[in-house]
Amino acid sequence: MEHVMDLEFRGQWASPTVCNWIERDEKNKLLVVEIPTGRERPSALRVPDCVIETKGLNLDLVTVIVVNPTLKDIVVHPGQKVALIKKAEVVSPEQEANPLPIDPSTFFGGNSPVPKSCKARLWDKLGAQACVFSLNDWDVGEAKGVKYHIRLSNPRPFRERSRHIPLAEMAEIRRHLQELMDHRIIIESKSPYASRIVIVWKKNGQLRMRIDYRTLNTWPIIDQYTVPQLQEALDCFS
């Protein structure tokens, strides 16, 4: 059983290159708590990495969680380093949701036979619902508030191994994954299920990432309901 305790310590940095202290006038900043490298800390001591805010934080006294994964006592000597605090470097800033203007030529080409008066009326209708139109490859929108429960015939989670990816393509794949995360198309997940990733290269050299859900698609329990026939639907219009 792990022994968890709160340990209060005062920041003592070896040098500015290892850990920069936060200035007093800097507010609403993010700090990263990390475990020291080398032999400066007790070998069995564990400090979970975490992110903290400087807002309302006492910069002279910081509390961290220290974990003893062994069944033996660990002695922490005075002045011994148990954690490092660094300024957090934000890699993926939040994207501002500023609506982009829609060009009318997107809907009406130069050779459109629609009269100008009708174009103006139609444009007013479309412009009122401009948020439903995608303007670029990353403008996919986000649906919230809906959760769907899928019943599975086999409740045992599975994790499929990824297919072999050449090392020469790893840099481009990481860049593509970062773009997907920056635009909130994907997020980090701790799901017990993991389907295989399939990498496809387009003819223009761009990367396309797909997920192989064939294994998962064989497990859902199909909902039992009657699908109306096409002829019956057409008879409703007669």
Q: What pTM did the predictor assign? A: 0.44
Q: Residue 65's closest CA among 35, 20, 107?
A: 35
> So where are the chain's domains?
1-91, 150-223
The CATH number of 150-223 is 3.10.10.10
pLDDT, greater one: 188 or 13: 188
* Residue 11, pLDDT above cutoff 80: no
How much is the pLDDT for 27? 54
Between CA 80 and CA 134 the distance in angstroms is 56
Between CA 126 and CA 120 the distance in angstroms is 10
* Residue 65, pLDDT above cutoff 60: yes
Q: Residue 35's closest CA among 50, 52, 16?
A: 50
| CA of residue 157 relative to chain centroid, distance | 22
Query: What tens digit of pLDDT does each residue of 95-138 get?
Result: 555 455 666 666 666 677 778 788 778 878 877 777 777 777 78
Confidence of residue 191 (pLDDT cuts 50, 70, 90): confident
**Range in 143-147, 155-159, 171-175, 183-187 the model is least confident about:** 143-147
Q: Residue 51's closest CA among 69, 27, 66, 29?
A: 29
How much is the pLDDT for 182? 87
Query: What tens digit of pLDDT does each residue of 143-163 get?
Result: 777 888 888 898 888 889 888
Between CA 14 and CA 79 the distance in angstroms is 11
Confidence of residue 82 (pLDDT cuts 50, 70, 90): confident
